[in-house]
């Protein structure tokens, strides 16, 4: 973040300097002209695709367990779309593991008051992994992926339409909030 | 302006580099904005004196160029033109440097300097040199004031000290070029020295003296018109001030007080080294070694994270800044730095595993400050060992069928026995193959008022045979020290991959327990290699001994609850010189 601020600062300063020159000085000396820079925000074309960030776990990780991965979809992303992308798992070249227990289906996902309620089929609970690591990354891949969507601040889990109280050895009775600490640091 | 003994040989210091970098960046931007409109208004000051220019300074690609002759004359250098090609100049002082048209390299007697831009010949025929590169090469510094369109070429103040010289107490200021100066004194009482056309290039612009009736020296930079360094010498009582050097000078000498003052020897101890070791009693011990008796000092123990802060007043840190990791059961890191801007205090900070009881004393005739950590006793202290899963819940299952619940129970039973053998009052949440509800496990530890809760687990990745290693999980900040000690012991003894310490606030047993609590994941049972390890009696014994060592180490570093000092914040955290708690003198 700090780097970004510094970079922006430099951009602003450079811009200000160059602009000041343009306004106040005879434009006859080419060596002092501002360099041509590309526009900062390219205009999206009407038929644009949408980018979605999903999180999957990296089996080699030591610090940040979850890797952000980018997917492109043709329509504005919703929780259901993000969950389907999670279900599809990693692409061939990605160093990440699939997380959903075998046979899990997404029965529904709706957002109300900033909380996304995710309804999963019974396989999610029946085949939910033991093992603290597997349980943690499975849960937080879902939570962190959904909270990437601007309208989602927290996630509530349901199985076959019923609110989950516990999942494996975890207490999930309260809406789950994003955990930045689990995300791979270099790409956070 | 005769006698310009320029010193090309002086090493170029980082501080001056920063100056030049910032200044030239500001310079480039500001000049780019104002060049055309305000070009004629640019004024150049060299070493505090106005220096009229014969050629207009110009900016090209953000770099300021000034005619070489406009700089060399006021700086006292000789200048020789070589016809080339390419055309070049030789600037002579006590050595010679050369700059060539179209060449970014500036050659000096000691080294080549790479300038961001090459000299060129202006349309009027002047040999234009990049100001920043030129200043670097000759040991000067450039200051650009954009509002006033003023460029100041300055000397660098490279040494400032108070010391006896020729039977007198002298304030000595060494600069890279002769600068005009003036002295005044005020009723504070203070002696003030102003060095015009000068920038600070000192490691320690502020330092204590505490001898000869002189308290402290503070040098500060005035970076707008006029660019100058102001040196304030605080005195214990008013004293006469006499200038000993000619004006201007590159070696300004100011006598402070009368010659008789010198009979009082300097008293400030210099901090020579910090030694951390285990003594013969196996106690962790820090020695702060000085060359003279250490004066007032104070210690302050704070928690979360646990650390001991030691402030030693009125010392000179000869050792510079210290930051070192320590592989010790009680202490993990030592840092030391000199505080400035207030009392001259060397602050030493020890990062601790827990809030350990300690003692402090002056030894070796007051020249060594010794901090000793006594180990807290472990006998009779309450620890709860939890074997994860059980009964109808097998936990994770290995590729060849090894059940996590069985590994966990065996290791937990071994651990409990080892803890009991060490005199620790160890309880187990389960001692057979039954399923105890998670909340009940945490409740047991809370009811027993246990000091440590360790849940023994074997790990699993989402897919088999993909991940290996030992990991520790925790849920609350107050469990972090325990988690790191446990991870350290597991990795060291089991020699599996270091999978790291991780936090998950949702895990019931670490969430519902009111004491430091961790889940120790010995290895990955769903990886075939580690499954076979977890099946072996040797590995289980090793795992139990790692956790036992971690628990003992943690308890020894953490006094039992009734001895825990007050929470941070209830005591003053920034002790004043000579006024803090636990101050002991010699």
Question: Looking at residue A74, what DSSP letter applies?
Answer: S
Strand pairing partners for B194? Answer: B182, B230
Residue B18: the pLDDT is 42
Which residues in chain A have Cβ-Cβ distances shorter than 8 Å to B498?
A: 62
A171 vs B506: CB contact, 8 Å cut-off? yes
Of the candidates B76, B59, B185, which has an alpha carbon nearest to the alpha carbon of residue B131? B59
Residue B584: the pLDDT is 29
Strand, coil or helix: B357? coil
Strand pairing partners for B207? Answer: B217
Residue B8: the pLDDT is 39
Q: Specify the length of chain B in residues.
A: 586
A17 vs B32: CB contact, 8 Å cut-off? yes
A32 vs B59: CB contact, 8 Å cut-off? yes
A63 vs B457: CB contact, 8 Å cut-off? no
Please state, in angstroms and rounded to a whole number, the distance separating the CA atoms of residues B245 and B254. 7
B60 vs A172: CB contact, 8 Å cut-off? no
A13 vs B438: CB contact, 8 Å cut-off? no
A21 vs B509: CB contact, 8 Å cut-off? no
Which residues in chain B have Cβ-Cβ distances shorter than 8 Å to A20?
A: 32-34
Best mean pLDDT range from A89-93, A114-118, B49-53, B184-188: A114-118
A131 vs B394: CB contact, 8 Å cut-off? no
B397 touches chain A (CB under 8 A): yes
Please state, in angstroms and rounded to a whole number, the distance separating the CA atoms of residues B407 and B525. 9
Residue B513: the pLDDT is 96
pLDDT tens for each residue of chain B, 586 residues long: 333 333 333 333 444 444 444 444 444 444 444 444 444 467 889 998 888 888 888 888 878 899 999 999 889 899 989 887 888 899 988 788 999 988 898 988 888 888 888 999 988 889 999 998 999 889 999 988 777 788 899 999 999 988 888 888 899 999 999 999 999 988 889 999 999 999 999 877 888 887 788 888 999 998 777 899 999 999 988 888 899 999 899 999 999 888 777 776 666 788 888 888 877 777 888 999 988 888 888 899 887 788 899 988 878 777 777 888 877 777 888 988 877 655 678 889 998 877 778 889 999 888 899 999 888 889 999 999 999 999 999 999 999 999 999 999 999 999 999 999 999 999 999 999 999 999 999 999 999 999 999 999 999 999 999 999 999 999 998 898 899 999 999 999 999 999 999 999 999 999 999 999 999 999 999 999 999 999 999 999 999 999 999 999 899 888 787 644 444 433 333 333 333 223 223 2
Strand pairing partners for B160? Answer: B173
B392 touches chain A (CB under 8 A): no
Residue B1: the pLDDT is 37
B525 touches chain A (CB under 8 A): yes
Nearest-neighbour CA in chain A from B60: distance (Å): 6
Nearest-neighbour CA in chain B from A54: distance (Å): 17
Give the residue ranges of DSSP H helices in A25-131: 79-88, 123-126
Residue A41: the pLDDT is 53
A129 vs B460: CB contact, 8 Å cut-off? yes
A138 vs B459: CB contact, 8 Å cut-off? no
**ipTM of this complex:** 0.74
Residue B265: the pLDDT is 64
Of B33, B60, B457, the CB nearest to A21: B33
B503 touches chain A (CB under 8 A): yes
User: Which phi-psi region, left, alpha or beta, contains residue B343 (left: φ > 0; alpha: ψ -120 to 50)?
Assistant: beta
Which residues in chain B have Cβ-Cβ distances shorter than 8 Å to A57?
A: 461-462
Burial of B468-497, coded b for 16+ CB within 10 Å and e otherwise, reads bbbbbbbbbeebbbbbbbbbbbbbebbebb
Residue A81: the pLDDT is 94
CB atoms within 10 A of CB B400: 9
Residue of A nearest to B59 (CA): A32
Structure tokens of B145? 């004031």
Q: For residue A136, how many C-alpha atoms fall within 13 Å in the half-sphere facing its CB?
A: 28
**Strand B517-524 with B498-503, pairing:** unpaired
Q: Can you tell me the mean pLDDT for A147-155?
A: 94
Nearest-neighbour CA in chain A from B476: distance (Å): 13
B30 touches chain A (CB under 8 A): yes
Of A17, A140, A171, the CB nearest to B33: A17
Which residues in chain A have Cβ-Cβ distances shorter than 8 Å to B462?
A: 57, 97-99, 129, 134, 137-138
Give the contacts of B493 (CB within 8 A, at least 6 positions apart): B542, B543, B545, B546, B549
Which residues in chain A have Cβ-Cβ distances shorter than 8 Å to B521?
A: 131-133
In the A/B pair of chains, how many CB contacts fall below 8 A? Answer: 131
CB atoms within 10 A of CB A131: 27
Residue of A nearest to B460 (CA): A131
Of the candidates A130, A133, A20, A158, which has an alpha carbon nearest to the alpha carbon of residue A66? A133
Which residues in chain B have Cβ-Cβ distances shorter than 8 Å to A137?
A: 462
Give the contacts of A167 (CB within 8 A, at least 6 positions apart): A125, A128, A135, A139, A157
B29 vs A134: CB contact, 8 Å cut-off? no
B463 vs A98: CB contact, 8 Å cut-off? yes
Residue B30: the pLDDT is 47
B461 vs A134: CB contact, 8 Å cut-off? yes
Q: Which B positions 432-471 lie with beta carbon below 8 A of chain A? A: 438, 457-463, 466-467, 471
Using a CB–CB cut-off of 8 Å, the residues of A that contact B are 13-14, 16-18, 20-21, 24-26, 29, 31-32, 57, 59-63, 65, 97-99, 129-134, 136-140, 166, 169-172, 176, 179, 181-182
Of B37, B459, B499, the CB nearest to A62: B499
Please state, in angstroms and rounded to a whole number, the distance separating the CA atoms of residues B261 and B27. 47
Q: Which B positions 126-185 lie with beta carbon below 8 A of chain A? A: none
Please state, in angstroms and rounded to a whole number, the distance separating the CA atoms of residues B397 and B276. 46
B32 touches chain A (CB under 8 A): yes
B499 touches chain A (CB under 8 A): yes
Structure tokens of B182? 């003036």
Residue B10 exposed, middle or buried by CB count within 10 Å (0-12, 13-18, 19+):
middle
A132 vs B37: CB contact, 8 Å cut-off? no
Model's pTM, two decimal places?
0.57
Structure tokens of A152? 């989602």
A136 vs B458: CB contact, 8 Å cut-off? no
């Amino acid at each position: 973040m700090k780097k970004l601020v510094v970079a922006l600062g430099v951009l602003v300063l450079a811009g200000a300097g160059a602009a000041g020159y343009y306004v106040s000085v005879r434009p006859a000396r080419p060596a002092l002209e501002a360099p041509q820079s590309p526009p900062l925000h390219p205009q999206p074309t009407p038929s644009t695709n949408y980018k979605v960030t999903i999180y999957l776990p990296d089996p080699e990780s030591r610090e940040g367990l979850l890797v952000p991965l980018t997917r492109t979809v043709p329509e504005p992303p919703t929780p259901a779309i993000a969950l389907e992308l999670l279900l599809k798992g990693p692409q061939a070249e990605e160093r990440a593991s699939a997380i959903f227990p075998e046979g899990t289906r997404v029965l529904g996902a709706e957002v109300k008051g900033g909380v996304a309620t995710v309804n999963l089929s019974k396989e999610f609970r029946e085949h939910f992994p033991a093992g603290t690591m597997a349980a943690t990354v499975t849960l937080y891949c879902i939570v962190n992926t959904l909270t990437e969507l601007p309208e989602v601040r927290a996630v509530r889990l349901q199985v076959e339409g019923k609110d989950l109280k516990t999942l494996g050895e975890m207490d999930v009775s309260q809406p789950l909030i994003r955990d930045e600490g689990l995300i791979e640091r270099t790409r956070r | 302006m005769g006698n310009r003994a320029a010193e090309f040989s002086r090493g170029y210091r980082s501080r001056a580099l920063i100056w030049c970098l910032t200044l030239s960046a500001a310079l480039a931007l500001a000049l780019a904005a104002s060049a055309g409109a305000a070009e004629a208004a640019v004024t150049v000051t060299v070493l505090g004196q106005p220096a009229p220019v014969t050629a207009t300074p110009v900016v090209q690609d953000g770099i300021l160029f000034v005619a070489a002759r406009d700089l060399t004359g006021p700086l006292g250098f000789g200048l020789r033109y070589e016809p080339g090609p390419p055309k070049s100049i030789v600037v002579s002082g006590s050595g010679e440097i050369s700059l060539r048209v179209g060449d970014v390299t500036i050659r000096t007697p000691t080294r080549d300097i790479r300038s961001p831009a090459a000299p060129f010949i202006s349309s009027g025929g002047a040999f234009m040199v990049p100001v920043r590169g030129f200043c670097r090469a000759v040991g000067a510094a450039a200051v650009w004031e954009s509002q006033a369109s003023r460029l100041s070429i300055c000397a660098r103040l490279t040494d400032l000290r108070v010391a006896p010289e020729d039977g007198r107490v002298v304030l000595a200021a060494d600069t890279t070029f002769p600068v005009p100066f003036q002295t005044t004194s005020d009723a504070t009482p203070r002696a003030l020295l102003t060095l015009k056309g000068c920038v600070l290039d000192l490691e320690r612009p502020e330092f204590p003296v505490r001898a000869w009736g002189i308290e402290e020296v503070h040098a500060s930079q005035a970076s707008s018109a006029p660019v100058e360094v102001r040196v304030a010498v605080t005195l214990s009582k008013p004293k006469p001030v006499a200038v000993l050097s000619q004006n201007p000078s590159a070696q300004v000498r100011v006598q402070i007080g009368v010659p008789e003052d010198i009979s009082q020897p300097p008293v400030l101890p210099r901090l020579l080294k910090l030694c951390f070791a285990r003594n013969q009693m196996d106690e962790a011990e820090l020695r702060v070694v000085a060359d003279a008796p250490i004066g007032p000092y104070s210690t302050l123990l704070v928690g979360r994270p646990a650390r001991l802060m030691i402030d030693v007043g009125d010392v000179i840190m000869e050792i510079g800044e210290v930051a070192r990791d320590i592989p010790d059961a009680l202490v993990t890191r030592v840092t030391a730095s000199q505080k400035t801007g207030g009392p001259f205090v060397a602050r030493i900070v020890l990062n601790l595993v827990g809030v350990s009881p300690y003692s402090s004393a002056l030894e070796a005739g007051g020249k060594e400050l010794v901090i000793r950590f006594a180990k807290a006793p472990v006998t009779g202290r309450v620890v709860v060992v939890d074997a994860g899963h059980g009964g109808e819940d097998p936990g994770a299952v290995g590729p060849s069928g090894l059940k996590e619940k069985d590994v966990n129970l065996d290791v937990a039973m071994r651990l409990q026995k080892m803890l009991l053998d060490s005199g620790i009052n160890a309880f187990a949440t389960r001692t057979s193959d039954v399923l105890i509800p998670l909340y009940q496990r945490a409740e047991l530890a809370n009811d027993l008022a246990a000091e440590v809760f360790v849940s023994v687990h074997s790990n699993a990745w989402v897919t088999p045979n993909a991940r290996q290693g030992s990991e520790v999980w925790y849920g609350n900040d107050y469990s972090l020290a325990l988690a790191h000690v446990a991870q350290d012991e597991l990795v060291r003894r089991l020699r599996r991959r270091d999978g790291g310490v991780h936090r998950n606030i949702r895990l019931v047993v670490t969430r519902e327990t009111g004491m430091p609590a961790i889940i120790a994941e010995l290895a990955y049972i769903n990886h075939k290699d580690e499954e076979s390890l977890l099946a072996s009696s040797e590995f289980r014994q090793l795992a139990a001994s790692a956790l036992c060592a971690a628990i003992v180490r943690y308890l020894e570093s953490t006094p039992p609850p009734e001895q825990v000092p007050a929470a941070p914040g209830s005591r003053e955290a920034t002790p004043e010189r000579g006024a803090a708690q636990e101050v002991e003198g010699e």
